Amino acid sequence: MKLSDDFDARRLRPRRYRNWRLRLAAVLGALLAALGVLLTMAGAATLLGRPPALGTLNDSPGAAIVLLTAGLALLWLGIGVWRLCRRRLRRPSDLSLAPHLMKKRN
């Protein structure tokens, strides 16, 4: 089959979209995780008897427990957002074969 001169294979592939939103969300997720680590460390330091890291914000053990749980929640949320965005960024967006057409591997 003869290909004409005006054939362009790039038209067959879907146009790549700009993924700056996912990159920004991944950065925000990493920042949330870092803030969660810092809050967790501040709450744990107060519970272990060290001087309060945040001044009068966590003087009592109750406030330190609240900081510790809030820090762990932020850490968990930040890691979840970061992993979700990284997974979507790494998803292939090119042409792919149907699974039944691929080579069988035993």
Which range of 14-18, 58-62, 68-72 scores highest in mean pLDDT? It is 68-72
Q: Is the model's pLDDT at 27 over the cut of 80? A: yes
* Burial per residue of 28-62, b for 16 or more beta-carbon CB atoms within 10 angstroms, e otherwise: ebbebbeebebbbebbbbbeeeeebbbeeebeeee
pTM over 0.75: no
- Looking at residue 32, what is its pLDDT? 96
Mean pLDDT for the stretch of residues 39-48? 88
Q: Is the model's pLDDT at 67 over the cut of 60? A: yes
Rounded Cα distance, 10 and 88, in Å: 22
| Residue 80 one-letter amino acid | G
